[in-house]
Structure 1
């Protein structure tokens, strides 16, 4: 008996050793694939499809042997690629999966990276408050990173992103002071990274360029040019650098300010050549063409001004289409998810309704009471809604009061399905708004929906867990995008849509 037990023990031990050796070999294979995927020129040479294929292979191989490090690496890289490709639906999906895994394993470095990517996605979709929450959480998580260089890097990227949010969302004239404050904090954090950290100079250079851009917006041209010179010094040995596209645009703007229009055109054309080489998305090219048009206007060459303005407008039109598609891609999965849940519970709902119907019939026969017709019960609900919303009579007649009441409840609870359900109840509302202003974001449309339901500023701030000032700023931006005059009531205007 003892011999048998000993043999079993030896067999299990040998099996575990073999499994461990096999797992170690698989991990080495995965790490080799990862080295290929993270080569500095991999994205440019292989393209996004091949990069996604490599990352997907790393992900599934890692998952098959419970190699969490490999899974997380692949999820972060896939999220980065999807974000760069403006596929925010897939990007946010990978980020959500990665966040669960990073938190579970207390991987603070990856956790912080994923929150930064989540912020970038929300920012592109116009969810400024959610973007702000994600990046500020990333900043808190970064403080838990043990490795000093990684901590400085994580905090640097977080501070830079906070500045970006203020730059996009804040409409105050004094916002550039706040932006400069956070960009400078990012710059200081990147300078604290040790010399041995990979691409340290590149991280400092990016923050120097960000500072140059905000100094330009403050009309501090000499200071801006100092940071540009520092950026060029730090990046002089970099063979391929797509960041020079934005740098040339900035230098072109500075030359326009200095009235060196011919020099400005040279810089803008350099940015266009680089943009074509790297096959970048056209958002930055709009600035190049607009800058060239400004230069030609100053030179009184109105023909070339018109040509370049037309190019800028065509790019803006294409970007509006991309934005609409992005909004649709984010809405569609929510709709699919809701439909799946409804289908999975359909059988239970049918049984419940059948049971309730039997009970109702039983009481009807027993008590011989006349049931009040449904039509007679509706006015009471309508009155409740009138008291709460003071909606126009035409709108109440054209919508189902019970559905409207449900929509209101979703809004009060800040339910993620609110946008979808509202669109179902008012199918032409978003379409009509986007026809008037294609620049409206998904978040803008949500605020318009809340105003159409007659929620005031204080209520919206409560539902969205934000400040009254933030809601007022958002209303102001929406009013500008829709060209609603200051004398016109935005609520009355939206009721007519």
Structure 2
């Protein structure tokens, strides 16, 4: 019996030794920078477009450890950025920010235009999906700056994705012509199904050019033939192809591609693209007078949209809180280190130490005030984006939220004419926000002619001559220069 126990213990120890040996061989093996880059760029990208979250995270964690052991900083940073990307894709924005911040700390120690372009591209994308469009454009501009500095031809292809992202961001701030310019820039660097699909959609929606739209969609579908079926590119392309079919009065066929797109995007974990698909499917069933299906997909859209909105709001607050905590932690660590050093080395120079502490304290207060101002500015930007979103939805709370954010504008309107109705104020607010007549008609569900008539009535109520631009008049009114506009 004792012999059997000893044998079992010996077998257990041998198994442990074998596992440790395998682990040691795996992680002590020297990999060349090229091998690490190949795993973190090519293999990771293949896993990303197939939406294989667990496999991608496992691969990148493995090569982060290897890169740390070999002091290969580029590999470590690439791993963090890749993990941040997959978390952002599946809607876990808190973890996405966490890994981007880890990459940002390390990137300061290395001079790499490629890594900087990739980092700021991801920062822009995550801020975009949580609704911070102005911040997203700012990060995207930094990404383009570094992307243009890349000398390696294969690495420079990242600019294609960066330009495509900028086109998407500009589309959401109503700069559609600029959006098309950046899409063609992206296509010139690297032709992909999604970029071709986006250009096709632009020609169909804004240029009313079916032939051009069909040309670019055919290009996209040809490129898909060379790809694995379950990938993000196919899911997004099928959505735009469905739109094309819908526009050409083929709703039943469009639904087939919408449903294929949903299946692919669900499998590849592209969560934040799905609400728009649900809404589009619901609208298509409405055209087919299928009320049951229309309601089913509208409920799916509402449920997923609300869920993602909660995550977005939490992510915005979390990102701000983490930045504050990091800054406070850094300041505290530096201060304690400095104090310890001064106490040990300059313990006899009490007066000088006292002056130094006072100086550090005042500097910390100034930094804190500057940071608070920055946070406030971010919140105001978020508030503006929320107001734009309410206006697009024709939400009853739009005017209340607008008045809360811009109370002086409404007061000045009442100073000109105290009999303005709620409808008049809402109309003025939408013009002030930069909506065109066509957009106002679309979001308020009225004819374009009705919007023009309402503008003419508004001119009479506010005593604005026909040669004065309403948008400029309202902007000047906000700045206190409306009198000059009236007399012009």
TM-score (norm: length of structure 1): 0.59
**Contact map agreement 1:411 1:418 (CA 8 A) in 2:** no
Structure 1 residues 324, 439: CA separation in 2 closer, same or farther (over 3 Å shift)?
A: farther
The DSSP-based 3-state class of the residue aligned with 1:259 is: coil
Q: What displacement does 1:68 show?
A: 1.8
Q: What displacement does 1:452 show?
A: 5.5
- Alpha-carbon separation, structure 2, partners of 1:88 and 1:454: 33
More off after superposition, 74-83 vs 49-58: 49-58
Q: What displacement does 1:223 show?
A: 1.3
Structure 1 residues 189, 98: CA separation in 2 closer, same or farther (over 3 Å shift)?
A: same
Instruction: Say yes or no: does 1:177 pair with 2:177.
Output: yes
Give the structure 1 partner of residue 164 of structure 2. 160
Give the structure 2 partner of residue 304 of structure 1. 293
Structure 1 residues 337, 454: CA separation in 2 closer, same or farther (over 3 Å shift)?
A: farther
**Contact map agreement 2:93 2:312 (CA 8 A) in 1:** no
Structure 1 residues 35, 136: CA separation in 2 closer, same or farther (over 3 Å shift)?
A: closer
Q: What displacement does 1:233 show?
A: 0.9
1:241-252 → structure 2 map (5 Å cutoff): 241-252=231-242
Query: Residue by residue, what CA displacement relative to the aligned partner does 1:357-413 show, whole Å, maximum 9, x if unpaired?
Result: xxxxxxxxxxxxxxxxxxxxxxxxxxxxxxxxxxxxxxxxxxxxxxxxx99x95897
The DSSP-based 3-state class of the residue aligned with 2:236 is: helix
**Contact map agreement 2:97 2:319 (CA 8 A) in 1:** no
Give the structure 2 partner of residue 72 of structure 1. 77
- Which stretches in structure 2 are left out of the alignment for 5+ residues? 1-24, 339-364, 394-400, 410-428, 445-454, 459-473, 475-488
Structure 1 residues 177, 56: CA separation in 2 closer, same or farther (over 3 Å shift)?
A: same
- Alpha-carbon separation, structure 2, partners of 1:59 and 1:450: 50
- Alpha-carbon separation, structure 1, partners of 2:304 and 2:329: 38
Instruction: Say yes or no: does 1:264 pair with 2:254.
Output: yes
Q: What displacement does 1:177 show?
A: 1.7
Structure 1 residues 95, 313: CA separation in 2 closer, same or farther (over 3 Å shift)?
A: closer
**Contact map agreement 1:33 1:54 (CA 8 A) in 2:** no
The DSSP-based 3-state class of the residue aligned with 1:414 is: helix
Q: What displacement does 1:183 show?
A: 0.5
Instruction: Say yes or no: does 1:81 pair with 2:71.
Output: no
1:387-426 → structure 2 map (5 Å cutoff): 410=369, 414-416=373-375
- Alpha-carbon separation, structure 2, partners of 1:46 and 1:252: 22
Structure 1 residues 284, 154: CA separation in 2 closer, same or farther (over 3 Å shift)?
A: closer
- Alpha-carbon separation, structure 1, partners of 2:434 and 2:246: 30
Structure 1 residues 342, 413: CA separation in 2 closer, same or farther (over 3 Å shift)?
A: closer
Give the structure 2 partner of residue 115 of structure 1. 120
**Contact map agreement 2:36 2:75 (CA 8 A) in 1:** no
Give the structure 2 partner of residue 217 of structure 1. 205
Q: What displacement does 1:118 show?
A: 1.6
The DSSP-based 3-state class of the residue aligned with 1:126 is: coil
**Contact map agreement 2:80 2:103 (CA 8 A) in 1:** yes
**Contact map agreement 2:180 2:202 (CA 8 A) in 1:** yes
How many positions carry a matched residue from both structures? 357
Give the structure 1 partner of residue 142 of structure 2. 137
Give the structure 2 partner of residue 320 of structure 1. 309
Q: What displacement does 1:137 show?
A: 2.3
Structure 1 residues 48, 455: CA separation in 2 closer, same or farther (over 3 Å shift)?
A: farther
Structure 1 residues 156, 34: CA separation in 2 closer, same or farther (over 3 Å shift)?
A: closer
Instruction: Say yes or no: does 1:329 pair with 2:288.
Output: no
Identify which of 175, 192, 199 aligns with 1:204: 192
- Alpha-carbon separation, structure 1, partners of 2:266 and 2:35: 32
- Alpha-carbon separation, structure 1, partners of 2:328 and 2:109: 30
- Alpha-carbon separation, structure 1, partners of 2:69 and 2:403: 46
Give the structure 2 partner of residue 287 of structure 1. 276
Query: Residue by residue, what CA displacement relative to the aligned partner does 1:196-253 show, whole Å, maximum 9, x if unpaired?
Result: xxxxxxx433321221122222132221121110111122021232222222222222
**Contact map agreement 1:293 1:306 (CA 8 A) in 2:** yes
- Alpha-carbon separation, structure 2, partners of 1:450 and 1:92: 33
- Alpha-carbon separation, structure 1, partners of 2:371 and 2:307: 36
**Contact map agreement 1:86 1:326 (CA 8 A) in 2:** no
Instruction: Say yes or no: does 1:146 pair with 2:151.
Output: yes
Q: What displacement does 1:119 show?
A: 1.3
Identify which of 111, 114, 119 aligns with 1:106: 111
- Alpha-carbon separation, structure 2, partners of 1:128 and 1:99: 21
Give the structure 2 partner of residue 359 of structure 1. none
Q: What displacement does 1:342 show?
A: 8.8
Instruction: Say yes or no: does 1:28 pair with 2:31.
Output: yes
Give the structure 2 partner of residue 232 of structure 1. 221
- Alpha-carbon separation, structure 2, partners of 1:45 and 1:247: 14
Cα RMSD after superposing both structures: 4.7
Structure 1 residues 270, 204: CA separation in 2 closer, same or farther (over 3 Å shift)?
A: closer
Structure 1 residues 263, 449: CA separation in 2 closer, same or farther (over 3 Å shift)?
A: closer
